[in-house]
Amino acid sequence: MSSSIPSSVSYEPTGQRLPVKTGPLLELENLSTHYVSSGGTRVVRAVDQVSLRINAGETLGIVGESGSGKSTLALTILRVLPPAARIVEGRMLFDGEDLVQKSDAEMRHIRGKRIAMILQDPMASLNPLFTIGDQVAEPIRVHEGAGRATAWQRARDLLKSVRIPSPETRVTQYPHEMSGGMRQRIVGAIGISCEPRLLIADEPTTSLDLTIQAQYLNLLRELQRAHGLALIFITHNLGIVAKMCDQLAVMYAGRVVESGPVSRIFNAPVHPYTEALLNSIPRMGDSAQRLTAIEGQPPDLAALPRGCAFAPRCDRVFDRCRVEAPPEFAPAGRRTARCWLAAADSTPSDMLVQSGTA
Amino acid sequence: MAIQTEIIGLPPRSRSRLAALRFGDFPLIPVLILGCIALVAIFANLLAPHNPEIGSLAARFKPPFWQTGGSTKYLLGTDQLGRDVLSRLIFGARVSMIVGFTAVIFAGVIGTTLGIISGYLGGWVDQVIMRLTDSWLALPGLTFAIFLAAIVGPSMWNIVIILAVTYWTRYARVIRGEVLSLKEREFVRLAIVAGCSKWTIMQRHILPNVINSAIVLGTLMLGVVIITEATLSFLGIGVPPPQAAWGLMLSDGKQSLMVGRWWLSVLPGCCIMLMVLSANILGDWLRVKLDPQLRQL
Amino acid sequence: MKRYVSRRVGYCLLSLFLLSLTIFFFVRVTGDPATLLVEPGASEADIAAMHHQFGLDKPLWVQYGIFLASLAHGDLGKSFYYRTPVMELYLSRLPNSLYLATVAMAFSLIIGIPTGVLASVRVGRFWDRAGKIFTLLGLSLPSFWVGLVLILVFSVYLGWLPSSGAGTPLHLIMPAFALGWYFAAAHMRLTRSSMLEVLGSEYVKLARLKGLPQSLVIAKHAFKNALIPVLTLAGINLVIMVNVATVVEVVFAWPGIGRLLYEGITFRDFPVVQGVVLMGGAMIVIVNLVVDILYAVIDPRIRLGV
């Protein structure tokens, strides 16, 4: 069914067709977020010239090691950065509006309501002193001005939709009385409570038991279909990416080194880092083979080497890599690769006419 | 592709010179003040223009020299027995310094030793020492000190002992905590494996590592100890008259307060304040410098 | 919750026991206790009689038993000076001290908590630096000096406020300020650090991500959590205040137990001194217990038995 719906139209859960601007739901252009130490001496380039695109209803996976900038990217989109961080350049176009230029008050109306986020640790994300009902109903009351009774009823319905048993009793309970899996579902319920267009999930399954993980992912899938959500899924687990995501962006040292449709990247990765990541997944039947790890350490984001950030660890490195940092190339279709290896069969993306080649 | 490095809107960093002097950078003024007080205390005999303990009744209640009725003979005025305030302040510095430092050092030595023993040996020794500190900590230091002073009677050295006995518990708790975490570290385990005796380990390995905390705690306790001593003297159970102690001067001065003889109270109080303030600032700075972990103190 | 409460009660009793032991130990150990327990100016024969009457010729542990027994009955001995039971004296003066301490505590919380919150929300800027200076001054200025300066300014020079005694609310202002000053700084410091810790937590982050206005995030999510340690400290500080109010009560001639202690010292009225100190310690231990129980009420994690 979803394949016959043109991408320029999105459905609201009530079933009405709303005309929406054509083009991507969220487009990041050359986004950079730097942490500046108080002396002004150390600059950590947590997010560096990131360009990404996600359409309505799509699932974009963002993959990378810890320290690659994935979480900072998520916080940048919602502009919930710590005081030491600054958006140094770039644009974030959400439904055509640049989020970088928005005031705090305007961002507040977007957060939770049009773009929502789920954090990694559900126990820490829920305030221990307030009931579940209070915390789920809260965004509804704030964003939609609903009264207490209405909001709590919605909360109960939301808990039901995330498959929490006996929601009537649960709403008056406290976070510590729930299991980890339930808590994460509650956080999910909070996320979708005001029916956002985009949901960012920052490693939502990392702190869950394996058995619960699959259930949770299925739940996210369902919610996505039911509400027409676009989903940005941040993870370090390629297996989840394979299962959940349509598009993929691989991050390294704060930059997107490769992006494109999941199946195509999995079949034919361009960037050596992506290839190494894919190779490092142990497979059943690979007998007597050592796990291939990627040699070396992730770089210090405050002291990035000249040239390509991955050059010290790359097994296909050549001279140009160490001297000059590669720009983003667009080998084909909706793919990009930040690697000199891609230079041969494509033109750098900044020379392409911006014409939405999807 | 050139990378823009323009930083959008960093707030202007206003750092006044005064703030730099106080926080973060070396606290010059407090150290100078403490140094001055120390020098004054050491050379009191040379600096004081008059005998602090004997005064002439004819020259009672003279105000400081800049007020009417004052003279340059008694720069800061005289008290109810005709004793020169300036001289008493100078000799009071000696008392405060001696009492302050000795008490802090005694308390530190006792507290650190017991803290190390308690933390390292564990078991019933630890339990006993901890229960003891708990029950002593139940009482506020001041009350405990008052109680002890009431029992033993006033004298300067009694006060030092009382203060040491009251405040060692603060050290013991903190040092014990440090020792507990140090016990798990590699070099301690190596020493045990190498066959060092318990006492050697405690002395050679543990002690140098907790010295930092002890010093920081010492500077922080200095202020508390001085205030306690002043309080005890104020209440009449501290340093006994006719010795000059700032707390005692405050107590004497209180009676004449209502008739406006401000210099008898305000001046000693300022001295106490300066000394304690300097000690606290220095202690804060040391705490940050020596070990960020101690921020919890 | 029951287990939690019973454990706390156990600690409380143990502490009370150790407290009595400590007091007893010090009195008996530092020289001849008879000189303390006997009225000043007694003769040799009197002292010998006292030895017998107080059982000082009995073994130490028997003496302690007698001591403990009388404590359990609430008998703290008789004041030499007032010739009335110490307990009676204590209880008659206690309300005054509590009154003063409560007002001083209110003052310290009203000043301390908001400035602490402001300092935490505006870290590094004006309010934080002002707060740091305030803390420093609060912890460095002895309360009696603050009191003396206040008297100088408001009684002697301006003549607005009475300098001693109790009776009208006007009498209360200066002593409460002098007493609460130190604690205002302590509460401010704790509020600030507690708020900073909470503001860095994940649930505050999520609250911001939900799009809640900053004021709601601070007032609702951060504040209530940050307040827990502050209130705990405040509860304990109240009783500490009652005990360290001695100097303030002396400066302002406020008729509370601090003043009673001072009188005991000045008149060498040992039963009074011992009684006040014992009761002071006991109060602190008991209040600790009460605060722990209140903790359980506020924090649902404890109430529902984690």
Cβ neighbourhood burial of C168 (10 Å; 0-12, 13-18, 19+): exposed
Phi, psi dihedral angles at A82 (to 5 degrees): -65, 160
CA dihedral B282, B286, B292, B294 (to 10 degrees): -80
Distance CA A116, CA C193 (A): 30
Cβ distance of A127 and C207 shorter than 8 Å: yes
Interface with chain C: mutation pick from A127, A138, A178, A195, highest number of C CBs within 10 Å: A127
Query: Highest mean pLDDT range out of A276-285, A316-325, C24-33?
Result: A316-325
Is residue B24 very low, low, confident or very high in pLDDT (cuts 50, 70, 90)?
low
Q: What is the mean predicted confidence (pLDDT) over C52-56?
A: 63
Structural domains of chain B, with CATH: 98-296 (1.10.3720.10)
pLDDT surpassing 70 at residue B148: yes
Q: What percent of chain B has pLDDT over 70?
A: 89
For residue A280, the tally of other CB atoms under 10 A from its CB is 12
The β-bridge partners of C31 are none
Q: Which residues contact A305 (CB under 8 A, 6 or more apart)?
A: A299, A311, A312, A322
* Amino acid present at B170: R
Interface of A with B (CB under 8 A): 32, 34, 36, 38, 40, 49, 86-89, 327, 350
Distance CA B204, CA A58 (A): 64
Query: Highest mean pLDDT range out of B97-106, B250-259, C30-39?
Result: B97-106
Is residue B215 very low, low, confident or very high in pLDDT (cuts 50, 70, 90)?
confident
* Amino acid present at B155: S
Distance CA B175, CA B186 (A): 19
Helix (H) / strand (E) element for A337: namely: strand A336-337
Residue B203 near residue B170, CB atoms below 8 Å: no
pLDDT surpassing 70 at residue A146: yes
Q: Tell me, rounded to whole angstroms, the distance of Cα B52 from its chain centroid.
A: 24
Q: What is the mean predicted confidence (pLDDT) over B142-155?
A: 82
pLDDT surpassing 70 at residue C186: yes
The DSSP symbol for A305 reads P
Longest dimension (CA), chain A: 67
pLDDT surpassing 60 at residue A4: no
Task: Read off the pLDDT of residues A76-96 as tens digits, 9 standing for 90 and up.
Answer: 999 888 878 888 899 999 988
- The tokens describing A143, both together, are 């964003």
- The tokens describing A95, both together, are 């439904």
Cβ distance of A86 and B3 shorter than 8 Å: no
Which residue is it, tokens 């005796």?
B197
Residue C172 near residue C100, CB atoms below 8 Å: yes
Cβ distance of B231 and C264 shorter than 8 Å: no
* Chain A partners within 8 Å of C210 (Cβ): 111-112, 116, 138-139, 142, 190
Residue A32 near residue A90, CB atoms below 8 Å: yes
- The tokens describing B11, both together, are 């707030």
Cβ distance of B7 and A327 shorter than 8 Å: no
Higher pLDDT, B5 or C102: C102
Q: What is the mean predicted confidence (pLDDT) over B157-184?
A: 84
Interface with chain C: mutation pick from A114, A119, A125, A176, highest number of C CBs within 10 Å: A125
pLDDT surpassing 90 at residue C104: yes
pLDDT at position A45 is 86
* Amino acid present at B243: Q
pLDDT at position B19 is 44
pLDDT at position B131 is 75
Which residue is it, tokens 């008659």?
C92
Cβ distance of C266 and B277 shorter than 8 Å: no
Residue A120 near residue A202, CB atoms below 8 Å: yes
Distance CA A248, CA A169 (A): 40
The DSSP symbol for A79 reads T
Q: Tell me, rounded to whole angstroms, the distance of Cα A19 from its chain centroid.
A: 26
**Residue B23 in contact with partner chain C when CB distance is under 8 A:** yes
pLDDT at position C42 is 64
pLDDT at position B92 is 87
* Chain B partners within 8 Å of C250 (Cβ): 234-235
Distance CA A348, CA A346 (A): 7
pLDDT at position B237 is 84
Task: Read off the pLDDT of residues A165-182 as tens digits, 9 standing for 90 and up.
Answer: 888 888 888 888 888 888
Query: Highest mean pLDDT range out of A163-177, A300-314, B175-189, C67-81?
Result: A163-177
Distance CA B281, CA A94 (A): 51
Cβ distance of B8 and A350 shorter than 8 Å: no
Distance CA B230, CA B248 (A): 7
* Chain A partners within 8 Å of B4 (Cβ): 88-89
pLDDT at position A357 is 41
Distance CA A2, CA C208 (A): 33
* Chain B partners within 8 Å of C21 (Cβ): 135
CA angle B242, B245, B247 (to 5 degrees): 115
Cβ distance of C19 and B139 shorter than 8 Å: yes
The C-alpha R_g of chain C, in whole angstroms, comes to 24
Crossing angle of helices C270-298 and C257-266, in 10° steps, is 160
pLDDT at position B35 is 87
The DSSP symbol for A25 reads S
**Residue B144 in contact with partner chain C when CB distance is under 8 A:** yes
Of the partner residues A32, A86, A350, the one whose CB lies closest to the CB of residue B1:
A350
Q: What percent of chain A has pLDDT over 90?
A: 10
Q: How far apart are the first and last CA of chain A?
A: 20
pLDDT at position A347 is 52
Task: Read off the pLDDT of residues C198-215 as tens digits, 9 standing for 90 and up.
Answer: 888 888 888 888 888 888
pLDDT surpassing 70 at residue A349: no
- Taken in order A48, A53, A56, A61, the sign of the CA dihedral is negative
How distant is the Cα of A18 from the closest Cα of chain B, in angstroms? 37
Closest C-alpha among A144, A244, A166 to residue A203: A244
Q: What is the mean predicted confidence (pLDDT) over B92-98?
A: 87
For residue B204, the tally of other CB atoms under 10 A from its CB is 11
Cβ distance of A36 and B3 shorter than 8 Å: no
Average pLDDT, chain B: 78
pLDDT at position C63 is 74
Distance CA C97, CA B143 (A): 15
Closest C-alpha among B177, C303, C270, B189 to residue A128: C303
Residue C157 near residue C149, CB atoms below 8 Å: no
Cβ distance of A142 and C211 shorter than 8 Å: yes
Distance CA A51, CA C131 (A): 44
pLDDT at position C38 is 63
pLDDT at position A9 is 40
Higher pLDDT, A243 or C43: A243
Which residue does chain B place closest to A89, by CA atoms? B4
pLDDT at position C305 is 55
Of the partner residues C203, C216, C298, the one whose CB lies closest to the CB of residue A125:
C203
Range with lowest mean pLDDT among A144-153, A177-186, C38-47: C38-47
The β-bridge partners of A118 are A201
pLDDT surpassing 50 at residue B104: yes
Phi, psi dihedral angles at A202 (to 5 degrees): -95, 100
* Chain B partners within 8 Å of C142 (Cβ): 227, 230-231, 269, 272-273, 276
Q: What is the mean predicted confidence (pLDDT) over A222-247?
A: 88
Q: Tell me, rounded to whole angstroms, the distance of Cα B18 from its chain centroid.
A: 24
Average pLDDT, chain C: 81
- The tokens describing B34, both together, are 């403490």
* Chain A partners within 8 Å of B8 (Cβ): 86-88
Cβ distance of C152 and B262 shorter than 8 Å: yes
